[in-house]
Structure 1
Amino acid sequence: MLALAPVLLLGACGGGGAELGEPIEPPEGWEAVGGVTQTTASEVMTRGAQGLYVAAGRAVYRSANGEDWTALAPLPADVEAASLIEIDGQPWAGGYNNAGVYRLPAGATAWREDASGLAGLGARTVLGLAVRGRQLFAATAGSGLYRRELDQAAGWVADRQGIPSNLSWNVESVAEHQGRVIAGAGGNGNLYIRTGDSLTWREVAYETFNGEALFLWSFFDDGDALLAAGNRRLYRSTDAGETWTVVFGYPRYVSRARFAATDTAIYVMLTTSIDTRILRSTDGGLSWNPAVENLQGVQGYDIGILQSTLFLAHQNGFWRTTLQP
């Protein structure tokens, strides 16, 4: 399996269960992760060369083994991470509520703002980050996509040619796959592909729009195949995003979906209004089965895997469970 492609994370989910931030007792088979706050909503995770990161509000933690967690410098006041990515061993964070983008250089004791050029309605609300080569792409809540050259001092530039403005330029997900950048936007069954050095995004339908909202919450790069998790179904493409097949239909509307993987299996977290479900595929995403019992009353935000341990960030804390062979 290849590494998890960076994906966006949307706002907090509603639903049953305890109040936001109120700790709840983990169900059988799960335990709270020590060393990470359980009273602030843990929201974002990413896997990088330096280990697994989790952001809980302003707090950011990192672990190389899943047992020992190091608290990194907190994000600036009023900045809450909506997306995380590791680049060249350094974490970057995109924020909610027009917070912009920040990075934590090696050895630094404070995050540095890196948002020059993010201008326009929603441009500084950065819901997703993805790297292609030495380019960093940001998915925003209202201003489409932006691009930054990592090896240049210049800031961000708008990169949305070909994406219709009548979609309000809301981008729900972004990922790199086989040299392409692929973005889910608009809620109408279409995604957008940027190939090679082209400056234009090309529209591709992943499902026929019939009036019901169709969003893509996240992608997973499995090498020869690309997986996508939407609000109603899971999809799979074997031609770099040109055509798509539905591989799993949800019994309920899903407001958030995230992927993680081991060397032998792919996992997806599906959050509904009443529970969080985690499925597993051992055949490259062609078929899916429950990996754990449904978590009733839990609103999952993200999942991550480190050394055969599955981590779940949700609205009431940060849990883990040992994966079964």
Structure 2
Amino acid sequence: MQAKYHKLTKQLHQSIAIRKDTRMAFFDHWHYHSELELVYILQGKGTRFIGDDISPFNSGDLVLLGAGLPHVWKSDDVYFESNSKNKVSAIVLHFGANFMGENLWELPEMSSIKELFQISPRGVCYHLPEGHTVKMQLKKMLNQSPFTRLLSLLSILNKLARIDKRSVLSGIPFAEHYQKHQSNRIDKIYDYILSNFDNDIKLEDLALKANMTPASLCRFFKQKTRKSISECINEVRIGFACKLLIEDNFSISEICFRCGYNNLSYFNRQFKNIIGLTPGNYQKKKSLFEETKSKD
């Protein structure tokens, strides 16, 4: 079940696309696109699949998706019943990262929005109360002129960037690309891990790439990322394991070895620690895609 690339269409001479989507049920293809997406669920409940995260969704949820992050929302089974009178509804907003030009985000006043864009490839969920200004602004945007929409989106992003109560959804490596870190050394470390996670990564080789001693590398990495190198490697490997569990039909033991592990028990423990489910239970959730698709 490979994620499909969607090329989104926008109205001529407009950099923002917004719509109110009302239908019997949510369930499109597992897909990604080059634009960011902001989704406000007005009505409905079910399960959302965002990168390697599988979580329930409800009315009122607000989610920001970065470019390249595979996703789909699937309504609960009751919405697919032939005699169902239930409906779902959402406001969906698409925009490019440079919808106001490349240089704007370099201004000091835009630093918080720039940081929000840097974590958006993992997906960010907000649980805001009804009547929150962001939700009210999104509803008003449906009837605004293109220029006013531009200003409204900038205002919304500024507010979202300053809200501390938010959840980052997907593992770092699930998106096709990853955001560059400010430090060149951190870049090199992440590049090496992402290129070699399916092999045995030796600390000495990683330190050589960063031009540091193993001990100084461990201190530096912990200081910059607030996690150990082994934690990062496990996150990358488990993120890739989730991708295989969702998109392919490999056995769990085969996925274990494809992700760089050589011990199935250790793989299972790391998976449970990071994802909160065993690989087997996580794999069962994949059927939420396939059961409904078989009815299409």
Report which of the two structures shows the higher radius of gyration computed on alpha carbons. 2
TM-score strictly above 0.5: no
Between Structure 1 and Structure 2, which shows a larger proportion of strand residues? Answer: 1
The TM tier, using the shorter chain, reads 0.3 to 0.5
Between Structure 1 and Structure 2, which shows a larger proportion of helix residues? Answer: 2
Q: Provide TM-score, normalisation by structure 1.
A: 0.30
